[in-house]
Amino acid sequence: MPEDAGRPWNLTEAQEEKLKLFWTLLFKLFDKPILERTNSWSTAKTHLSSPSSSEYRGNSSETSFVSYTKSQLDAFSSSHASEPREAKSKSTCCAERIAKIASEWDPEELRLAFWDTVNCDDPDGLLLRFLRARKWNVEAALEMFIKTVHWRSREMNVNDIIYHADHLDKDDDFVRQLRIGKCFIFGEDKKNRPVCYIRARLHKAGDVSPESVERLTVWVMETARLILKPPIETATIVFDMTDFSLSNMDYGPLKFMIKCFEAHYPECLGECIVHKAPWLFQGIWSFIKSWLDPVVASKIKFTRNVKDLQQYIKADSILKEFGGPNPWKYTYPEPGQNESEPLNNVNERQKLKTKKDEIAQEYEEATVDWILNGNPEDKQRRRKLAGQLIESYWSLDKYIRARSVYDRMGLIAPKSSHPVYLYQPMTNDGTQTAGEPVVGVTNEENL
């Protein structure tokens, strides 16, 4: 399958139907079910109830998209509490788990948490990562996604980590890890993915708090999201095992990182390169491999020298410390005195948030039109609004995220250099072309 398959600009008809179903179920959780809309979208109930609606064109064992949607919505509204567990279908059990999480949220709060999770991403692109991770099983993907929204907002407090960055005044361990360069992002691999280096020798169990290590892990993952340039959606990790010893082995942070990639940042890992692993790591690796999803395990590569690294990393990006030509060395630039002053500008932040929320609402309305009609015009309007959402995020960025070491290094580029893949070009008869997707950052005049 091509690497860009299952992306917003390259969907099969069956994949697009799955994405529509995902959005339909999300609207239900936001207490805005399409079935109940009778004002702005007056034909919704009729359309979704009509037996003449188009059939889902995927696996022949699937029901139609419309019937499938209705059955899933029914599952959300019925607890089936009297049924024995063994008699319940996997689909029903999945729906119950989703409903249990959703019951802990006010629907509007859940909707806002959803948009916080989208962050700087293309909304479709984010949902499609979860769909691909669950092999296009919509219920499983939705459960995975809702768990992630809950984890980000109620457990990990990701927004708080992003807000403070390395301006934390209550977590000296966080900044200490940055100062010594335990991990850092630099350069690109051969597929233009950013590369994160982790120096295993600089970590010792008990040296810093587990909570601080987890915060740093999440912060680096969130930072990588800001560095990615479409259509790139993944990053590569290099575990530098130079001078590694058993005193550096700490299973807790490793388990947490694996959980993040498999449960909360799916389809975000390009490759994981383990460089210069000593012989004692062989036994450790066989143990670690048993934790990994086979897809993740298949992305692990082992290298011993610069020649091996050149198979994966751009030659001019390989640092001298790894035998490459690049003289760059990680140093930690301390925070500037007033660099995060915009965080205190509450009025401007609220003004830009309001504008972003308005675009999000317009995107939701366009999504309903797309679900009901599927016209090329509806698709293009959604893609352009996705561009506006990303642009609005970058306008808001400095008011919700403290400047960090990567801003000081110039690695997080201004918004103008973050292209938006809007949509696949259309022919005169309304079908998608096989060429490159249209790229650009939109504004309201382009709609």
The DSSP-derived string for 158-222 is: HHHHHHHGGG-SS-HHHHHHHHHTSEEEEEEBTTS-EEEEEEGGG--TTSS-HHHHHHHHHHHHH
Lowest mean pLDDT among 17-31, 272-286, 354-368, 417-431: 417-431
Give the per-residue pLDDT at 170.
72
Domain ranges of the chain: 13-156, 161-322, 346-446
Tokens matching residue 361: 């609402």
Q: Are strands 235-240 and 269-275 parallel, antiparallel or unpaired?
A: parallel
Give the per-residue pLDDT at 421.
54
Give the per-residue pLDDT at 278.
92
Tokens matching residue 289: 């491999």
Lowest mean pLDDT among 105-114, 272-281, 436-445: 436-445
Tens of pLDDT, residues 95-143: 899 999 999 999 999 999 999 999 999 999 999 999 999 999 999 999 9
Kindly report the average pLDDT of the chain as a whole number.
84
Question: What average pLDDT does this structure show over 431-445?
Answer: 48
From edge to edge, which strands make up the β-sheet containing 183-188?
A: 183-188, 194-199, 235-240, 269-275, 300-303
pLDDT tier at 75, thresholds 50, 70, 90? very low
Give the per-residue pLDDT at 374.
82
For residue 51, is the peptide bond before it cis, meaning its omega torsion is within 30 degrees of 0?
A: no
Query: 413-422 burial, b if ≥16 CB within 10 A, otherwise e?
Result: eeeeebebbb
Q: Are strands 438-439 and 421-423 parallel, antiparallel or unpaired?
A: antiparallel
CATH code of the domain made up of 161-322: 3.40.525.10
Burial class of residue 86, CB neighbours in 10 A (0-12, 13-18, 19+): exposed
Rounded CA-CA distance 180/169 in Å is 18
69-73, 81-85, 413-417, range with greatest mean pLDDT: 413-417
Full-model pTM: 0.84
Decide: helix, strand or coil at residue 339.
Answer: coil
